[in-house]
Amino acid sequence: MRFQQKTAYDDDINLYEDRYQAFWYIALVGVAAALPFLVSSYFLGEVVNVLILAIAGMGLMVLAGHTGQASLGHAAFLACGAYMEAWLNNKGVPFLISFPVAGLFAGVVGVLIAIPALKMSGIYLAIATLAVGIVAEDVIVLLEPYTGGIGGTFVNAINLFGVEIDRYANPSAFYWLCLGVAVVVALGYANLLRSATGRAFVAIRDSEVSARAMGINIARTKMMAFFLSCFVTGLSGALMAHFLGAFNYEAFLITVSIQLLLMIVVGGMGSIHGAFFGAMVIGFLPQIITLIRQQVSMTAVPGLDTGVFAVILVAIIIIEPLGLYGQWIKTRIWWQLFPMARRDMFRRQKSYLKTERMR
């Protein structure tokens, strides 16, 4: 059994709970950095896809998981980042400039959409963002001079400090680039949650009435959440553009937005880890199903991936609403308290805030 003794108030907002946890995170990043030497190029490409999805998941997690603002149109901001990166890349703009500009462009578009949507919440905000995702598909086609329309567009290889980084020609370098971006975004996200702004996000999620009573500017904080969420999603879209190489509007259909939302629900709402867990399910599930189908000599079944994912989603909502990361936390705590753990230690209790009666 292991106990953590806190001796100062700052211990509650440390980046790591203790040195033991910090060691395992550093070890995990070390193993991830060595992955190109351990696996094939094909599997490395699948891991890159998971990292890009995880970055997009962290962007959506800021909005849905920690601010409580559901979004069903985040694929539109993926498209903003991807097309801006492609346009700047084809103009010869260096990646160190085009990459952050793509994220900023998506963030600004997100703020412009957030202004009329600030007075909405719950299902009404979800419907509004769903409309944005649907309209974005038509906007991409109409802006043919910049997006390539139905035919789509392409991006050249990344040139970073004289090194050409391409998914196919140099998969290891592209993987390390995506891994570095994922680590930086995760560290930035973790530090955001420790700040006053991050705590304001959580306060709004739990109760807007209580947050307003504490002096939090609801409109400004929601707008900041939209900007940060769309900025990170735009960075993911820029990496996705280089991952795909050539793409059109079909890469950012409304189904992608729904998939992103379901991804963070499966992984665990309100946690950075949940974005990675959900991305692993989304990224690796089709490959696992393909391997199982090959083992049992089963013919391809249309919609099988979606059906299996739906079953997993329903099972998690019923059995463990906190997602895969929530189940991992409970398992870890059970082992840490063994043999003093009790069977009903994690029994769910019905609770509500009295201030929510006014909503």
Tens of pLDDT, residues 315-335 = 877 877 788 888 888 777 777
Total domains in the chain come to: 1
Q: How many residues does the chain have?
A: 359
Is 208 inside any structural domain? yes
Tokens representing 43? 């599997």
Is 326 inside any structural domain? no
b/e per residue 2-41 (b: at least 16 CB within 10 A): eeeeeeeeeeeeeeeeeeeeeeeeeeeeeebeeebeeeee
pLDDT of amino acid 314: 82
Domain enclosing residue 108, as ranges: 9-253
pLDDT of amino acid 356: 46
Where are the alpha helices (H) located in 34-155, listed in sequence order?
41-60, 75-90, 95-117, 123-142, 144-147
Is 190 inside any structural domain? yes
Based on the number of CB atoms within 10 Å of its own CB, is 105 exposed (0-12), middle (13-18) or buried (19 or more)? Answer: buried
Tokens representing 121? 């919440």
pLDDT in tens, 287-311: 887 787 777 766 666 777 777 777 8
pLDDT of amino acid 208: 84
pLDDT of amino acid 59: 92
Nearest by Cα to 209 from 357, 68, 63, 355: 355
Is 239 inside any structural domain? yes
Packing angle, helices 171-194 and 19-33, rounded to 10: 160
Q: Rounded to whole angstroms, how far apart are CA atoms 42 and 168? A: 10
Parts of the chain with a pLDDT under 70: 1-6, 9-12, 297-301, 339-359
Is 178 inside any structural domain? yes
Q: Rounded to whole angstroms, how far apart are CA atoms 323 and 314? A: 11
Is 3 inside any structural domain? no
Residue 327, SS3?
A: helix
Q: What is the CATH number of the domain that holds 147?
A: 1.10.3470
Is 81 inside any structural domain? yes
Is 324 inside any structural domain? no
What is this structure's pTM? 0.88
Q: Rounded to whole angstroms, how far apart are CA atoms 207 and 202? A: 9
Nearest by Cα to 165 from 48, 79, 282, 250: 48
